[in-house]
Amino acid sequence: MTDVQARPGTSGNAEQVDHVVIRFAGDSGDGMQLTGERFTTASAVFGNDLATLPDFPAEIRAPTGTIFGVSAFQVQIADHDITNPGDAPSVLVCMNPAALASELDRLEPGGTIIVNSDEFDERNLTKAGYTENPLENDSLAGYKVILVAMTSLTKEAVKESGVKSRDAERSKNLFALGLVSWMYTRPLDTTLTWIKEKFGKNEMVMNANIMAFKAGHAYGETAELAGNRYSIKPAPQKPGVYTSINGNTALAWGLVAAGQLAKLPVFLGSYPITPASDILHELAKHKSFGIRTLQAEDEIAGIGAALGAAFGGHLAVTATSGPGVALKSETMSLAISLELPMVIVDIQRGGPSTGLPTKTEAADLMMAMYGRHGEAPLPIVASYSPSQCFDAAIEACRIALKYRTPVILLSDGYLANGSEPWLIPDPSTLPDISTTFATEPNHVNETTGEPEHWPYVRDPETLARSWALPGTPGLMHRIGGIEKEDGSGNISYTPENHSHMVDTRAAKVAGIAKDIPEVAVTGDVADADLLVLGWGSTWGAIVTAVDRRRAKGRKVAQAHLTHLNPFPANLGEVLKRYPKVLVPEMNTGHLAKLVRAEFLVDARTVSKVRGVPFTAAEIEVAIEAELERKL
Amino acid sequence: MTDVQVPLTSRKDWQSDQEVRWCPGCGDYSILTAVQLLMPELGVNRENTVFVSGIGCAARFPYYMNTYGMHSIHGRAPAIATGLAVARPDLDVWVVGGDGDLLSIGGNHLIHALRRNVNLTILMFNNQIYGLTKGQFSPTSALGKVTKSSPMGSLDAPFNPLAVALGAGATFVARTHDMDRPHMQEMMRRAHDHKGAAFVEIFQNCNVFNDGQFETLTTRANRDDMLIPLENGKPVRFGKEKEKGVIISSDGAAHIVNVADVGEDAILIHDEARPEPGLAFMLAHLASSVNEPTPVGVFRAVQTIEYADANAKQLAAAQERSGAGDLSALLHSLPTWEV
Ligand code: SF4
């Protein structure tokens, strides 16, 4: 076969653009996630900056052709630094009528729709709720529509491979990928290499996929699609080796790294739950690092097993989503009382109850802060971008080990599945988070005169308790969830001691503020009229929105929290510096309530609970409204 | 792990300095004594021994042992102990709990610990009542039991703990009672030495809320006629003169008979190592209340894959295949590009 690839960026007939937002949409069975991921990887390897937003239904295989079975994948690629998957897509790839019906209103006015026209038969149109074929009336008049008979073209193209008709049809997503790769002058080799690796074991299927991919590409070249070709230059990036990574993989790798940095074996006790299960899958693959994963009988057993492993000196982790955190709360309180290190990962999703399992939300902050019985404070770390989940995981483990405390690490469905290029760190630059265990008795028994180990003797600096591992001779001791005497750890119900222990546990967590970075302010630091304060995955949209408003002459500053308990030591001072504080959150105002209560500032919420992340435009509107609000 | 260096210890070495806080006369005292006297004989180190418990009267147990210990939360001891035993196969992990702790709130964790066959020694003190919450019916209380929460009689059909354990695939199942220290110790020793999850039900008298519940079985006067000792490879016989026995009749059920009526050869020979649990299950169901002759002893003891061991083997195999984990290689394991 002849190589039809034009050199990216040098194609004579390609118009240069600085970014594009493409949304691939089709039936759950159409392979849209894979198509989007392959397009992303090819773009990443080419050197663009990018951010992705997978958006798929909760059903594993929803009835074919229905609106609720539509699976979509949005990606923004750019020749400059970007932080989010874009607001409205400018290109929409629709594999069937349901995809068109469900996704059309996201497309920007005048945008391009690439349609698999083969699927627009009466049956599929009815399933999508159309009474008329939208390709045949003027309902799409405001858009540029490219009709491609993808199913039949794919079948024709892969004939030679000898695959069955069903398999032939399944390759149509690679036809679509080939076509879009042509339109955006993507290099072909990344995808071809991937097809060969993925399907190498089944030569027939491999060939069919290669043929479909190349046919899609050739279709762009030979059909009358000239004038529809664009190139996007690589983005200037710091030199180094990059990989494209999603949040859950980055988080799992962060846990692997933390085990190495702490020189402790990692133990994950978990129960499968969307969207956190991939952390269990990923860690289960890395047994060569000495990582133990236990798929427990339920969420409670997941954290219980982790706590048992923590008692035994492992770096203990449990990973879940909101419903699982609710079930684990009693054991978290026990871990707080035992003062044992552990990380509870919460990949937030829409709630309450089952809510929106595959859609994103960040409404577990109050639960993370207060969702336990008794006075049970624990540190909270939140990641803000897919790749940053790596650092956030290490930081959560560092705090847990150093302060002997459970730590909640918040991520969300958007970060979990979204991906971005990541400059791979050199392991030697990562922090040492190793801890020490007691090896000698730290007390002499008053009655027997024998040396012994008191488990609640504290480091005066950190208030962390002495940690002796089972197996250490002479340091046998008992710990439990009943209130215990500080120092000895013996059961104590005295009023003074309980009050002291409540204060001590709180002081230990509060003291971590001395050990975390101050919150940084960017933008119009000196003279902003408004501070936009964020946490979690809203970061990408906030950065873009603030940049755009500042480019329009607005005075705006921005701060983003990675530590939510305790807050950075300078947060109160930062908040009071600006006349107005706006807090965009994918909940109804959790952080705003916290900072109001803590610092008496009139922080205002901009809320979004629609299962999808903020767009930058939405935050821009909120910034304008807040700037205009009379004080 | 066998350790040839285990120093000689005595009961005193295994007692903690904590004051024991059960009600005077509670059956828990005799179980504690049995354990503390047994430990020096097991050839284990105190520092390698961990007692994990949930909540309830029985769950105070770890505080009284001079070993490592965790008094956790209601029902969760089997899950916590599972994590510890999988993380640290070098330790000897014991779980202590009552019938409410292990069969009600913790029932799910118990059955899963048993089916996974994690190396745990699980002692369930069955007093057929909630003690610490002051006298409600428990999941092992008899139907019709009148308690504070069931003034007109409990409507709950009770669990048969051994049948639950056998149904969950437990590889070691035994029963004993708090009035017979040597028998308790023998059951505990066997359970401890078993590689895998071992479940021991101990009839325990709660003299405050359910006093005398097991008297029909356990007093010296009643024992001979009411307890059926199970001994491996021996006919299942009981009575002062061993005049009674158990047979499996043609309808497939176990029955109690007079040996003289059926002849010695008809009496069931106990085989705790039978791979299928059917016979043990039948014996577990032989008595439906404390008013019927009740088997005690080891019902089932079979050797099969132990979870922590299998887990360690997977880890070793992974390291053998790809060497010890290399973080830098992991971070470069997806497609990369250089700028
Ligand atoms: S309430 Fe019953 S089981 Fe609990 S300590 Fe008292 S006698 Fe023992």
Both tokens assigned to B334 = 């997806």
Instruction: Give the model's pLDDT for residue B6.
Output: 83
What is the CA(B130)–ligand 1 centre distance, in A?
9
Contact A477 B47 (CB under 8 A): no
pLDDT at A10 over 50: no
Residues of B in contact with A316 (CB under 8 A): 83
Rounded CA-CA distance A219/A221 in Å is 5
Query: Could you give the 3-state DSSP secondary structure of residue B141?
Result: coil
**DSSP-derived pairing of the beta strands A49-55 and A70-78:** antiparallel
Average pLDDT over residues A300-317: 98
Decide if pLDDT at B3 tops 60. no
The structure tokens listed for A174 are 């690679």
| Beta strand residue intervals within A396-550, DSSP E | 406-412, 419-423, 443-444, 451-452, 478-480, 521-523, 530-535
Cα B300 to middle of ligand 1, angstroms: 30
Compute CA distances A41 → A38, A50, A246, A422, whole Å: 5, 10, 11, 12
Does pLDDT of A12 surpass 60?
Answer: no
Residue A27 has pLDDT above 50, yes or no: yes
Tens-place pLDDT, residues A387-432 = 999 999 999 999 999 999 999 999 999 999 999 999 999 999 999 9
Residues contacting residue A446 through CB under 8 Å, at least 6 positions apart: none
Q: What is the mean pLDDT of residues B205-215?
A: 96
Q: Which ligand 1 atom is the nearest neighbour of the CA of B134?
A: 1
Ligand 1 centroid distance, CA of B202 (Å)? 14
3 state DSSP class of A530: strand
How far is the alpha carbon of B16 from chain A, nearest alpha carbon, in Å?
9
CA of A201 to the centre of ligand 1 (A): 65
Contact B337 A238 (CB under 8 A): no
Q: Is the pLDDT of residue B179 over 70?
A: yes
Closest CB to A472 among B47, B71, B79: B47
Atom of ligand 1 nearest to the CA of B56: 4
CB contact under 8 A, B315 and A338: no
In short, whether B126's Cβ falls inside 6 Å of ligand 1 is no
Q: How confident is the model over A108-119, as a mean pLDDT? A: 94
Dist. CA A475–CA A477, nearest whole Å:
6
Of B279, B273, B133, the C-alpha closest to B210 is B133
Length, in residues, of chain A: 631
A15-231 topology per CATH: Pyruvate-ferredoxin Oxidoreductase; domain 3 (3.40.920)
| Distance of alpha carbon A108 from alpha carbon A617, whole angstroms | 12
A443 alpha carbon, distance to own chain's centre: 46
Q: In the CATH scheme, what is the code of domain B11-213+305-312?
A: 3.40.50.970
For A352-363, the pLDDT digits (tens) are: 999 999 999 999
Residue B35 DSSP SS3? helix
Interface of A with B in 125-154 (CB under 8 A): none
* pLDDT band at residue A4 under the 50/70/90 scheme: very low
Residues contacting B290, CB < 8 A, separation 6+: B142, B213, B214, B216, B217
Helices A299-311, B107-116: axis angle to 10 degrees equals 70
Contact between B171 and B165 under an 8 Å Cβ cutoff? The reply is no
Angle (CA) A219-A224-A227 rounded to 5° is 105
CATH number, span A521-628: 3.40.50.920
Rounded Cα–Cα distance for residues A59 and A27 (Å): 12
Average pLDDT, chain B: 95
- CB–CB of A400/A341 below 8 Å? yes
Quick check: helix, strand or coil at residue A519?
Answer: coil
One fold for A243-429 and A521-628 = yes
Distance (Å) from CA A137 to ligand 1 centroid: 81
Residue pair B278/B270 in contact by the 8 Å Cβ criterion: no
Q: Is the pLDDT of residue A515 over 50?
A: yes
Å from CA of B199 to ligand 1 middle: 22
Interface ipTM: 0.96
Q: Whose CA is nearest to atom 8 of ligand 1?
A: B26
Q: Determine the Cα–Cα distance for residues B277 and B173; give it in Å rounded to an integer.
A: 10
Q: Is A278 in contact with A248 (CB distance < 8 Å)?
A: yes
Chain A positions in Cβ-Cβ contact with residue B112 (cut-off 8 Å):
296-297, 301
> What pLDDT score was predicted for residue A224?
67
What are the tens digits of pLDDT across the range B226-272? 999 999 999 999 999 999 999 998 888 899 999 999 999 999 999 99
Chain B CB contacts of A269 below 8 Å: 83
Q: In the prediction, which pLDDT does A63 show? A: 84
Ligand 1 site, residue B130, Cβ cutoff 6 A: no
For A1-15, A112-126, A519-533, B26-40, which range has the lowest pLDDT when averaged over its residues?
Answer: A1-15
Q: Assess whether pLDDT exceeds 80 at residue B4.
A: no
**Strands of A603-607's sheet in order across:** A521-523, A556-561, A530-535, A580-585, A603-607
Q: Give the up-direction half-sphere exposure of residue A454: CA atoms within 13 A in the CB hemisphere.
A: 20
- Asked if A427 and B328 come within 8 Å (Cβ–Cβ), the reply is yes
Quote the tokens at residue A196. Answer: 């060969």
Q: Could you tell which of B31, B207, B213, B214 is best to mutate to test the pocket of ligand 1, judged by most ligand atoms within 8 Å of the CB?
A: B207
Q: CATH number of A243-429: 3.40.50.970, 3.40.190.10, 1.10.10.10, 3.40.640.10? A: 3.40.50.970
Q: Where are the domains of chain A?
A: 15-231, 243-429, 436-515, 521-628
Q: Is the pLDDT score of A3 beyond 50?
A: no
Would you state the pLDDT for residue B305? 96
Q: Distance, in angstroms, between A354 CA and closest chain B CA?
A: 22
Mean pLDDT of the A478-487 span? 97
Q: Check B87 against A477: CB less than 8 A apart.
A: no
Alpha carbon distances (Å) from B339 to A1, A238, A244: 31, 7, 13
| d(C-alpha B283, C-alpha A67), whole Å | 58
pLDDT band at A8 (very low <50, low <70, confident <90, very high): very low
**Ligand 1 contact via B94 beta carbon (within 6 Å):** no
What the block records as the tokens of A110 is 């005048």
Q: What is the pLDDT of residues A62-80, one digit of tens each?
A: 788 899 899 999 999 999 9
Q: Give the separation between CA A74 and CA A103, rounded to whole angstroms.
A: 11
Tokens 């009035």: give the residue: B179
Give backbone dihedrals phi and psi of A237, rounded to 5 degrees, phi first: -135, 155
Tokens 């504070």 label which residue?
B148
Decide whether any atom of ligand 1 lies within 6 Å of the B205 Cβ. no
Indicate whether A271 pLDDT > 50: yes
- Delimit the domains of chain B by residue range: 11-213+305-312
**Any idea what DSSP says for residue A276?**
T
Residue A476, CA distances (Å) to B47, B81, B126, B183 in order = 6, 17, 28, 29
Q: What is the mean pLDDT of residues B111-136?
A: 96
Q: How far is CA A318 from CA A358, A512, B87, in A?
A: 20, 22, 14
End-to-end CA distance of chain B: 53
User: In percent, how much of chain B has pLDDT > 70?
Assistant: 99
DSSP A465: B
Residue B123: phi and psi, rounded to 5, are: -105, 115
pLDDT of residue A7: 35
Instruction: Work out the pLDDT band at A5, boundaries 50, 70, 90.
Output: very low
Alpha-carbon gap, residue B310 to B196, rounded angstroms = 11
**Do residues A57 and A70 touch, judged by C-beta distance below 8 A?**
yes
The answer to whether A176 touches A116, Cβ cutoff 8 Å, is yes
Inter-chain residue contact B91 with A470, CB threshold 8 Å? yes
> Distance between CA atoms of A36 and A47, rounded to whole angstroms?
16
Find out whether A559 and A574 touch, Cβ atoms under 8 Å.
yes
The tokens 């101050």 sit on which residue? A518
pLDDT at A62: 78
